[in-house]
Amino acid sequence: MKLIGNCRIKSYVDGNKLRGTSVLNKGRDPQERDKRLEEQNKQARFEETIMPHLDAAYNLARWLTRNEHDAEDVAQDAVLRAFKFFGGFRGGNSRSWLLSIVRNTAYTWLQKNRRQEIATAFDEATHDVEDAASNPEVLLLKNADRQDIMKAVEELPVEFREVIILRELEGMSYKEIAEMSGAPIGTVMSRLARARKQLQQTLGQRSQPGVSK
């Protein structure tokens, strides 16, 4: 289910915005030289720490926006934001840090361009957390056709799409997803259970004879 990372994002941030940020006036002023060296060091650390996760950034943006071109815009914007605020990164899980920015950027984009997609009300208290190990939908998801799964995931509400992608594709823990989304771990687990259940229903319906895919 993993999408191929978009190399154009890397060429964009390498060749334009990020590269441009370190091009300072090459005067002989020691302060200017220090600023230039500091910016170059920041860029080098950013490229080493954050750039390896561009595929994951694009994948998340693609699943949240459900459109390749929109995903490119969101991912590019997120990476540039990440570079801008990289001074505040104090180590730890760099992929999770970047994906948090991608998530926030994507939700801001959705709020502006597809408000109806994030307006779906969901009462967490009415849904019990299910044991994934005993759920029949887990087996169904493993055996289902890849294209069918991708189509079914794209039909999920954005909150469910997000947790499925972060958990199943990116392999993030419940704790990491909770920290990223600002939701309690129980809420994350509930959303994942509901997302799997909805996928099961969708895939089950499509597997019935006479149902068009």
Q: What is the DSSP string of 109-148?
A: HHHHH-GGGG-----GGGSPPP-GGG-HHHHHHHHS-HHH
Identify the domain boundary among 94, 118, 142.
Answer: 118
**Inside any domain, residue 40:** yes
Distance of CA 82 to CAs 67, 121, 143, 210, Å? 22, 30, 37, 48
Distance CA 70, CA 76 (A): 10
Q: Which residue has the higher pLDDT, 132 or 72?
A: 72
Nearest to 162 by CA among 54, 59, 51: 59
Range picked from 43-57, 121-135, 142-156 for highest mean pLDDT: 43-57
Range picked from 61-70, 140-149, 196-205 for highest mean pLDDT: 61-70
What average pLDDT score do residues 80-85 get? 93
At 153, list the tokens.
Answer: 């995931």
Containing structural domain, residue 152: 124-206
- We report the CATH number of the domain holding residue 178 as 1.10.10.10
Q: Which residue has the higher pLDDT, 36 or 85?
A: 85
What average pLDDT score do residues 176-193 get? 92
pLDDT number for residue 62: 94
How many domains does the chain contain in total?
2
**Inside any domain, residue 211:** no
pLDDT number for residue 139: 45
Share of residues in the chain with pLDDT > 90 (%): 39
Kindly give, in sequence order, each residue whose CB lies less than 8 Å from that of residue 141, ignoring residues fewer than 6 positions away: 149, 196, 199, 200, 203
Identify the domain boundary among 118, 149, 170.
Answer: 118
Per-residue pLDDT band at 204 (split at 50, 70, 90):
confident
pLDDT number for residue 212: 52
Whether pLDDT at 130 is above 50:
no
For 3-59, the pLDDT digits (tens) are 444 555 565 555 555 554 444 444 557 778 777 887 888 888 999 999 999 999 999
- We report the CATH number of the domain holding residue 62 as 1.10.1740
Examine the domain organization and report whether 106 and 58 are in the same domain. Answer: yes
Q: Which residue has the higher pLDDT, 128 or 168?
A: 168
Nearest to 189 by CA among 133, 139, 116: 133
SS3 state of residue 126? helix
Examine the domain organization and report whether 138 and 99 are in the same domain. Answer: no
pLDDT number for residue 17: 52
pLDDT number for residue 125: 41
Whether pLDDT at 167 is above 60:
yes
Q: Which residue has the higher pLDDT, 16 or 106?
A: 106
pLDDT number for residue 207: 59
pLDDT number for residue 124: 43
**Inside any domain, residue 2:** no
Examine the domain organization and report whether 88 and 179 are in the same domain. Answer: no
Nearest to 38 by CA among 22, 27, 25: 22
Examine the domain organization and report whether 57 and 83 are in the same domain. Answer: yes
